[in-house]
Amino acid sequence: MKRWKIGVYLVVLGCLGHASATTKPVTAPLPSASSVVLSCAVAYTPQRCTWVREVRIDWDKKAVRRLRIDGLEPYGFSLIPNGLMTAIDNERIQIDLKAQAWTSDFRGLAAGQGRCETVPG
């Protein structure tokens, strides 16, 4: 019973804020980079809360150079077929760029799923 309460508490904290010491400060965009901005409406369970997450991906002619989620730059990311995966705080995130879908989980304690759409910016 205590484990469940602690898990729910951690997920609620995740829904309330995404800034932590595990992220880099936001810096200016690269001068010769192209970018895409996605707005992802993510429904988190078991809390049944929905959050709109902003994903910005900057790239140049050779590679993806920078990823930002809600203005935070994770320390690293991996490219996977059709998308990318990363983590911010305790949330593991996968973004399918082909299907424009968001999937995430909080180490098995909660999960998030949503659709993304491209926005100008």
- Render pLDDT for 61-115 as a digit per residue (tens, 0 to 9): 888 999 999 999 999 999 999 999 999 999 999 999 999 999 999 998 999 999 9
User: Hey, where are the domains in the chain?
Assistant: 2-119
- Kindly report the pTM of this predicted structure: 0.71
Identify whether 29 is preceded by a cis peptide bond (ω within 30 of 0): no
